[in-house]
Amino acid sequence: MTTWEYATIPLLTHNTKAILDQWGEDGWELVQVVPGPAGSTNLVAYLKRPKGEK
């Protein structure tokens, strides 16, 4: 059975692709993007990868 680890990261709207590309190179898969805290123009990304992959 696969077990997962998760990460939550802020996304700067002007640099989203570069941020996600870097995390993807490290084995992370994007699960969801949601708006950041109220009053923020940033987004929050939720990512996952199988445990033990680094």
Q: What is the pTM of this model?
A: 0.83
How does pLDDT run across 1-46, given as a tens digit for each residue? Answer: 999 999 999 998 888 999 999 999 999 999 999 998 887 788 999 9
> Which position has the higher pLDDT, 37 or 53?
37
**To which residue do tokens 């870097």 refer?**
22
What is the per-residue pLDDT for 37? Answer: 85
The answer to whether the CB of 23 falls within 8 A of the CB of 53 is no
